[in-house]
Structure 1
Amino acid sequence: MHHRAIRSIGCLYHKIDGSFHVFPEVIMSSKVYFWNMRASIKAPFNNRIRKILKTTKATEHIASGDLTALKVHFGELGNTTFLRPIWLKPIISYYKKAGAKPFLTDTSTLYTGERGNAPDHQMCAALNGFDPLLLGAPVIIADGLRGESEVIVNSEPHKNSHFKQTYIASDIARADHLVAISHFKGHGLAGYGGALKNIGMGCASKRGKMQQHCTSGPKGNVHKCVGCGLCMELCQHGALSLDSNKKIQVDDQLCVGCGACLLACKTGALQVNWETGIQEFLEKMMEYALAVLKTKKSPSLFINFAINITPECDCLSWSDAPICPDLGIFASADPVALDQACIDMADQAPIIPSAMHKLPENYRVGECKFTAIHDKVPKDMGLDYAEKIGLGSRKYQLIYI
């Protein structure tokens, strides 16, 4: 294990040829561990993963029988670049050997798809290869059957904070430990998807996701409404009604944003109201990430697989070509430092020719690939705010394993 680099905000001291420079003036930093995916007969994948986990002291706080949530993204059906299930097997084995009871978990989506409720989501996970009998850990959808099983976590108000209460998926909140295992890639709304999005958005219940995405209740589309009333039966707050033409109406004053009606509607007459500005969305997501970590007594671990770095999220039912070569696997107890390290190394990496059309003609290596592709996203992609509210540090020390 070698100390390989130190980053100051806005600067990366890591060269593409593999050489690093350490700048002594940077004194406050978090440790980010990195493996470049090189393997050999004496050091195969499983051994390398175990070394990462041992180096990060992943099981230091594990007691026998501790329920440990391995937060992953099972991928939408049709997507081909989500985390390979086989990559998770040595992580599961490592925690089991330490006495933990790990389970693979994710939460329901707001939008209509293959992961909007627990039965569909579990079938999607199985079809994408997340087989409990093969991997040695069950698949549990953490926010229950319809995305309504949640724990209310009081926020720590600060200047300009968005929430007093947050709604976290119950089985993640109640787990003894959290390990976020993320596929690092691009994202249309957040710019990129890594550890912070995996816990901030990915650990929220349906109501929590609505809080982050929307400033009001769902939108009603009268052209698609058939007046069946199923959504009204499910709404416990009287926010839905039918007008004189038997078309759906939404009362934003009564709506609490639980999202239950979105699942009830079979015709698409109720849709997510994507009103929130991107900066506000990113700030809300970071506050949710902080709330998730508040549910844990011991430090959480974050692992980013910077492999198949596609321009869009695994929520899509297809996968575009990666925008740069595979980088490797990063791990840290600091999700801000971890994501920053991945972003920096991706920015310094060469562009894969098949992804040239995704980037502007004037793009130069070293500039942020994700904000170049998703040009409406703020340059810091929410990391400044994450650092400001105490989620972690954008300064990091990269340690090569």
Structure 2
Amino acid sequence: MSKVYFWNLRTSSKSPHSARMQKLLTQSGLSAIIDPGNLVALKVHFGESGNTGYLNALNLRPIVDFIRQAGAKPFFTDTSTLYVGDRGESVSHGLLAARHGYDPNLIGAPVLFADGLRSEYEVAVPYKGNYISEAYVGGMIMEADMLITLNHVKGHGLAGYGGAIKNVGMGCASKKGKMHMHVTTGPSLVPDNCIGCGVCITECAAGALDLDEDGRIAMVGKCTGCGRCFLSCRYNAIAIDWEQDVSEFTNRLIEYNKAILDKLRRPAMHINFLMNITPDCDCHGYSDAPICPDLGVMISSDPVAVDQASLDMINAAPPLYPSRLPEGLSQGDDKFKALAPETPDGFGLKYAEKIGLGSRNYKLITI
């Protein structure tokens, strides 16, 4: 049975937010696995432009201070997105992070992008799974001395639920890794939309694209799924089918977790923030109304346990309206399942437990 430490957000003048967060981190045993001089990756989602549900950077300052007091050197990190937006390469991504409050002068730690300028800095991590044989991961994730994930718990359009497992598997993957989880054969071409500009050809790492005799895009080699062509095309001549089998996507995501976490230099810690619990991922350019009240902060070395505990607490909470939740839900009903009925029961946690990623059995320890 895995231990999950929980703080219910209560504070006082004698024990403000920073003190309660420090107590939570201390009781979790985090300081025992941090050594002086360690470079500690704080994996976070900075939120897409227009989104307001992402984690407030100032709320994370006590975590930075705790790590620095242990003599280590924390840095915030993320990887480039597969979709087109302000997080597709590190220059735009860095400016966005700063606009959303992730300024080292405010939070005490720099922002470094784990997969480099254009998501070309990746490490191929071998893994003998049922769905993948390699995981393509941002290089700095594997170089860091320790990984701490800072997870805004919320819904997700495809996975149904996003927490620690989503932030590790999808969030630490390079652009090629994200493509690897979403599709197995690379993007599809839509030649009728092509104007023959050739930008995607120069971006294709595998040299698999060229123009046909009509001056439109054609596949002339083997696609390796790097995803750079999709991001470069402004004319919708390259497409990705996001509506793949949800169960297979979820299992690929979970195997990415296992591949990454098994190869880290020391155990990772996962901090779930059950605050502003919205129905969508922070990748969206908006944030819909929360589906339940703010509940607290959880931390565990077991990503399965902390996600299971988060789901259990959210389902036990009263539903909030108006929201996207269907009318008539009661306390105890599965809120994310009601929003995404096509997702597998338990959002893949049963498979995660089966392959040894963690345990769904947990002991909740309230500070």
Regarding TM over 0.5, the answer is yes
SS of 1:315 mapped into structure 2: coil
Verify: 1:203 aligned to 2:172, yes or no.
yes
What aligned pairs does 1:349-368 form with structure 2 within 5 A after superposition? 349-355=317-323, 358-368=324-334
1:239 Cα deviation (Å)? 1.8
* 1:194 corresponds to: 163
Verify: 1:369 aligned to 2:327, yes or no.
no
1:362 Cα deviation (Å)? 4.9
Q: Deviations over 1:309-360 (max 9, x none)?
A: 00111100000000000010011110100000010110011111211xx233
* 1:258 corresponds to: 226
Q: Deviations over 1:110-133 (max 9, x none)?
A: 000010001011011011111111
Q: Partners in 1 of 2:300 and 2:205 — Cα distance?
A: 42
SS of 2:34 mapped into structure 1: coil
Q: Partners in 2 of 1:74 and 1:142 — Cα distance?
A: 13
CA 1:275–1:185 in 2, change beyond 3 Å: closer, same or farther?
closer
SS of 1:273 mapped into structure 2: coil
Contact 2:194/2:217 (CA < 8 Å) preserved in 1?
Answer: yes
* 1:33 corresponds to: 5
Q: Partners in 2 of 1:87 and 1:293 — Cα distance?
A: 26
Verify: 1:321 aligned to 2:293, yes or no.
no
What aligned pairs does 1:2-401 form with structure 2 within 5 A after superposition? 29-155=1-127, 157-158=128-129, 161-250=130-219, 254-274=222-242, 276-355=244-323, 358-401=324-367
Q: Partners in 1 of 2:58 and 2:34 — Cα distance?
A: 23
Q: In structure 2, list runs of 5 or more residues that go unmatched.
A: none
* 1:11 corresponds to: none
Number of aligned pairs? 367
Which amino acid in structure 2 is aligned with residue 340 of structure 1?
Q
Contact 1:111/1:272 (CA < 8 Å) preserved in 2?
Answer: no
Q: Partners in 2 of 1:372 and 1:262 — Cα distance?
A: 32
Q: Partners in 2 of 1:61 and 1:30 — Cα distance?
A: 17
Q: Partners in 2 of 1:330 and 1:264 — Cα distance?
A: 39
SS of 2:200 mapped into structure 1: helix
When structure 1 is superposed on structure 2, of 90-99 and 60-69 the one drifting more is 60-69
Q: Deviations over 1:221-241 (max 9, x none)?
A: 234321111111222323212
When structure 1 is superposed on structure 2, of 254-263 and 84-93 the one drifting more is 254-263
Contact 1:103/1:140 (CA < 8 Å) preserved in 2?
Answer: yes
Q: TM-score, normalised by structure 2?
A: 0.97
Contact 2:318/2:330 (CA < 8 Å) preserved in 1?
Answer: no
Q: Deviations over 1:24-72 (max 9, x none)?
A: xxxxx11111111000001100001100110111121222211100000
SS of 1:323 mapped into structure 2: coil
Q: Partners in 1 of 2:211 and 2:328 — Cα distance?
A: 52
SS of 2:31 mapped into structure 1: coil
Report % sequence identity. Answer: 51
Q: Partners in 2 of 1:64 and 1:33 — Cα distance?
A: 24
Q: Partners in 2 of 1:216 and 1:385 — Cα distance?
A: 24
Which amino acid in structure 2 is aligned with residue 292 of structure 1?
I
Contact 1:215/1:276 (CA < 8 Å) preserved in 2?
Answer: no
Which structure has more helix as a fraction of its residues?
Answer: 2
Q: Deviations over 1:165-198 (max 9, x none)?
A: 1111001111010000000011111111100000
Contact 1:217/1:273 (CA < 8 Å) preserved in 2?
Answer: no
Q: Partners in 2 of 1:239 and 1:262 — Cα distance?
A: 13
Contact 2:205/2:226 (CA < 8 Å) preserved in 1?
Answer: no
Contact 1:67/1:175 (CA < 8 Å) preserved in 2?
Answer: yes
1:275 Cα deviation (Å)? 5.2
Which amino acid in structure 1 is aligned with residue 350 of structure 2?
D
SS of 1:288 mapped into structure 2: helix
Q: TM-score, normalised by structure 1?
A: 0.89
SS of 1:74 mapped into structure 2: coil
CA RMSD of aligned residues (A): 1.3
Q: Partners in 2 of 1:286 and 1:179 — Cα distance?
A: 17
